[in-house]
Amino acid sequence: MVKSFLFSLTFLLFATLSSAEDGYRLWLRYDKIDNNSLLQQYRNQISSIRFSGSSPTLTAAKNELKTGLQGLLDKKITETSSVTGASLLVFTKSFAGSVKANIDYNKLGDEGFLIQTIKNGQKNATIITANTDIGLLYGVFHYLRLLQTHQNIQHLNITSVPKIQNRILNHWDNLNRTIERGYAGISLWNWHTLPGYIDQRYIDYARANASIGINGTVLTNVNANALVLTKDYLLKVKALADAFRPYGMKVYLTARFSAPIEIGGLKTADPLDASVQNWWKQKADEIYSHIPDFGGFLVKANSEGQPGPQNYGRTHADGANMLADAVAPHNGIVIWRAFVYDVRVQKEDENFDSARNHNAPSIASSDRFKQAYAEFKPLDGKFRKNVLVQVKNGPIDFQPREPFSPLFGAMPNTPLAMEFQLTMEYLGQGTHLVYQAPLFKEVLDADTYANGKGSTVAKVINGSLHNYSVTAIAGVSNIGSDRNWTSNPFGQATWYAFGRLAWNHDLSSEKIADEWIRQTFSNNPATIATMQKIMMASREAVVNYMTPLGLHHIMGTSHHYGPAPWVDNLGRADWNPVYYHRADAYGIGFDRTEKGSNALAQYAPQVQAQWKDSNTCDEKDLLWFHHVSWSHKMKNGKTLWNELSSKYQEGIDTVRWMQKQWNTVKNSIDDERFKQVQMFLNIQEKDAVWWKDACLLYFQTFSKMPIPSNVEKPDNTLEYYKSLKFPFAPGIGGNN
């Protein structure tokens, strides 16, 4: 009796668990194909596989293929050793001898793959092949994706090679497992139980990344803690590196510049001091003795209080080169961040010229927009071959919309890496639905005109424009310990899109969304169409309800969640929203033309021409570059004030439209994820209204103009919005 009760209980529990759709499986669900004729077709076509080789990576590839096929086709896949008997042949170049196929391996490089239908005896077969084991794993994931997205696989001929070499996630994870700007739980890395315990989650993390071609991970926060470079921690890092290796994921660490003092007992961290250089060399040797394929160091220096070479009167190049020399014998790289802004900006910022008087020859003026360029452009060509400079997509800081950073195209002799932020620090964080592929594409496709028309940012970072020897792209991770990894299930789509674009920046946002929806939710055409529309509208929505027409950096102090355009009392001028929007009785916006900070001069003349006239400037960027009057006439004939107000309303309307659209997919997807997204959209709608009300009430104190009739009246007073406090908002920094 008791036994049978226990049995039913276990059975019930199992049944519930196995049918639960909690998002853990991401886009690698491998559920049985729900289209019967397609299922039949696939089953007929894939009867047996022949898999050559048994390295850890090949074993991972084989397991993935078998698990994936068995799930998708709901049948056991036989393995065979005969070439002619197999319908799927999976092998690297070194096993190619036995297969009669004309394969040009030169085209595939170190990570690329080929998937091709060939004649195999009397029948057709599919080959998946590559030069390397990891290329083969990527090919296997691609093949599974074809099935997951219900593609015709009868006549395949796919050659795929990544356009950027190092495709890296940057975790801003602290050693105490808090995550700076993390909104999906705590850090995945359990430093306490490492190295002894290897959580299955580490493997699933590596699998997910490999499935989209991500091949590196920086484990620690850029606001670094030197402890991670001590022996005990390095053994933990080694355990993670060992777990990730079969999936082609290299491990990187952030290097705290003052580590030689903090953990090395030296008196200085001066990069030109021989004892310091030696300390880093030995440290690098020690790291590589544990992790022979260690990727290298990511460094934030002389920015927001982090130590760096300037503390010793040295340049960023001096600092980066010292670390580069330490890792060079092991083929490591140094990724040096260009997110710097002068610590000496004056509190009162009324007069740009007075802000120059602080003996800082490298700083042209106090416009934070200009500072990365001002510090790095003069160093072009001064870095070692294994150094990349990592530049945030825009000149300020991951805003809903930024013009591309003027550094792209400006450093022909220094490889530049792109830094995107997947975690949505300024985009509604863990709850808002914002699919970021359109943001990434907008930047990648922007034309720098560095070598004439067509010199896109993508061509800068893929190395083709300036013949960089090493290339990289980074995404600040949005992943945490939440069961579904990213809090909002649609955060997974941004992670997915980052990987796919890092591999091939020519893919469109729509195509990536389509792939992701099919694998993650459903292949039902109506469901795909609805979700894709929601995703494609979501980025412009967040721009409109937060920072329309080129407004930027008007978020609440420190947590950056909601609106706080009124803040004017922070220690540095350029931490205050008022510094960025500059609203006054005349108008609003930051004049970055010749009459203002002249940041525009950092761009090529053709780019300047796009933005320099307030009457012709793309209105999406208007307030990034111009201080315009409240009654400035917009292209549609409205005044700036009315247009600004209408844009806020448009953002809210789009979110409400997204809510309605979402409700239509209720019966075609699982309840669990449906409800979560529905509830999050409710939060997003309320937040959008909050943004409109707070911003318009505040800006109205300057414009003195009525809120136009097409815009809903605010729910509360300005004082109310100003009084809101969020002392326990997640993700606030800490140097742990």
> What does the per-residue mask of binding to ligand BDP show for 595-634, with x meaning CB under 6 A?
----------------------------------------
Q: Which is nearer to ligand BDP, 393 or 703 (CB)?
A: 393
Q: Is 407 exposed, middle or buried (0-12, 13-18, 19+ CB in 10 A)?
A: buried
Contact in structure between 219 and 233 (CB atoms under 8 Å): no
List the one residue from 207, 238, 283, 300 that touches ligand BDP (CB under 6 A): 300
State phi, psi for 591 to the nearest 5 degrees.
Answer: -75, 105
- 195 upstream amide cis, omega within 30 of 0: yes
Beta carbon of residue 167, minimum distance to ligand BDP (angstroms, whole number): 19
Beta carbon of residue 694, minimum distance to ligand BDP (angstroms, whole number): 20
Beta carbon of residue 582, minimum distance to ligand BDP (angstroms, whole number): 21
Q: Which is nearer to ligand BDP, 264 or 556 (CB)?
A: 556
List the one residue from 184, 222, 328, 711 that touches ligand BDP (CB under 6 A): 222
Residue 372 has what DSSP assignment? H
Which one of the listed residues 397, 442, 515, 643 is annotated catalytic? 397
> What does the per-residue mask of binding to ligand BDP show for 568-597, with x meaning CB under 6 A?
------------------------------
Beta carbon of residue 570, minimum distance to ligand BDP (angstroms, whole number): 13
Residue 585: which residues within 8 A CB-CB, separation 6 or more?
A: 702, 704
User: Any contact of residue 390 with ligand BDP (CB under 6 A)?
Assistant: no
CA atoms within 13 A on the CB side of 713: 3
Q: How does strand 157-160 pair with strand 123-130?
A: unpaired
CA 604-403-379 angle, 5° bins: 55
Site for ligand BDP in 317-376 (CB under 6 A): 339
Q: Is 425 considered catalytic here? A: yes
As a three-state string, the secondary structure of 280-340 is HHHHHHHHHHHCCCCCEEEECCCCCCCCCHHHHCCCHHHHHHHHHHHHHHHCCEEEEECCC
User: Any contact of residue 733 with ligand BDP (CB under 6 A)?
Assistant: yes
As a three-state string, the secondary structure of 200-253 is HHHHHHHHHHHHCCCCEEECCCCCCCHHHHCHHHHHHHHHHHHHHHHHCCEEEE
**Helix, strand, coil proportions of the chain in percent (round to 5)?**
45, 10, 45
Q: Which is nearer to ligand BDP, 300 or 612 (CB)?
A: 300
Q: Which is nearer to ligand BDP, 305 or 452 (CB)?
A: 305
Residue of minimal CB distance from ligand BDP?
733
CA 166-169-170 angle, 5° bins: 115
Residue 167 has what DSSP assignment? E
Q: Which is nearer to ligand BDP, 53 or 733 (CB)?
A: 733
Beta carbon of residue 716, minimum distance to ligand BDP (angstroms, whole number): 28
Q: How many residues interact with ligand BDP (rule CB under 6 A)?
A: 10
Q: Which is nearer to ligand BDP, 52 or 393 (CB)?
A: 393
Contact in structure between 559 and 732 (CB atoms under 8 Å): yes
Q: Is 304 considered catalytic here? A: yes
Beta carbon of residue 74, minimum distance to ligand BDP (angstroms, whole number): 46
Beta carbon of residue 463, minimum distance to ligand BDP (angstroms, whole number): 24
Beta carbon of residue 335, minimum distance to ligand BDP (angstroms, whole number): 13
What does each C-alpha distance from 236 to 73, 194, 511, 704 come to in angstroms? 39, 5, 39, 60
> What does the per-residue mask of binding to ligand BDP show for 653-682, with x meaning CB under 6 A?
------------------------------
List the one residue from 171, 177, 181, 592 that touches ligand BDP (CB under 6 A): 181
What does each C-alpha distance from 488 to 204, 433, 437, 478 come to in angstroms? 19, 7, 16, 10
State phi, psi for 618 to the nearest 5 degrees.
Answer: -55, 125
Helix (H, G, I), strand (E, B) or coil at 113: strand
Contact in structure between 286 and 241 (CB atoms under 8 Å): no
Q: Which is nearer to ligand BDP, 300 or 627 (CB)?
A: 300
Beta carbon of residue 695, minimum distance to ligand BDP (angstroms, whole number): 20
Q: Which is nearer to ligand BDP, 73 or 573 (CB)?
A: 573
Contact in structure between 580 and 552 (CB atoms under 8 Å): yes
Helix (H, G, I), strand (E, B) or coil at 18: helix
Residue 251, strand partner residues: 217
List the one residue from 133, 173, 180, 540 that touches ligand BDP (CB under 6 A): 180
Q: Which is nearer to ligand BDP, 6 or 343 (CB)?
A: 343
Q: Is 643 considered catalytic here? A: no
Which one of the listed residues 199, 262, 304, 672 is annotated catalytic? 304
Site for ligand BDP in 488-517 (CB under 6 A): none
Q: Which is nearer to ligand BDP, 300 or 401 (CB)?
A: 300
Contact in structure between 456 and 418 (CB atoms under 8 Å): no
Choose among 592, 547, 581, 572: nearest CA to 373. Answer: 592
Residue 92, strand partner residues: 130
Contact in structure between 688 and 545 (CB atoms under 8 Å): yes
User: Any contact of residue 397 with ligand BDP (CB under 6 A)?
Assistant: yes
Beta carbon of residue 223, minimum distance to ligand BDP (angstroms, whole number): 5
Q: Which is nearer to ligand BDP, 181 or 314 (CB)?
A: 181
Beta carbon of residue 552, minimum distance to ligand BDP (angstroms, whole number): 12
Q: Which is nearer to ligand BDP, 402 or 425 (CB)?
A: 425
Beta carbon of residue 173, minimum distance to ligand BDP (angstroms, whole number): 12
**Calpha distance 548→405 (Å, rounded):** 19
Which one of the listed residues 425, 482, 515, 540 is annotated catalytic? 425
Contact in structure between 254 and 169 (CB atoms under 8 Å): no
Point out which residues bind ligand BDP (CB under 6 A).
180-181, 222-223, 300, 339, 397-398, 425, 733
**Catalytic amino acids?**
304, 397, 425
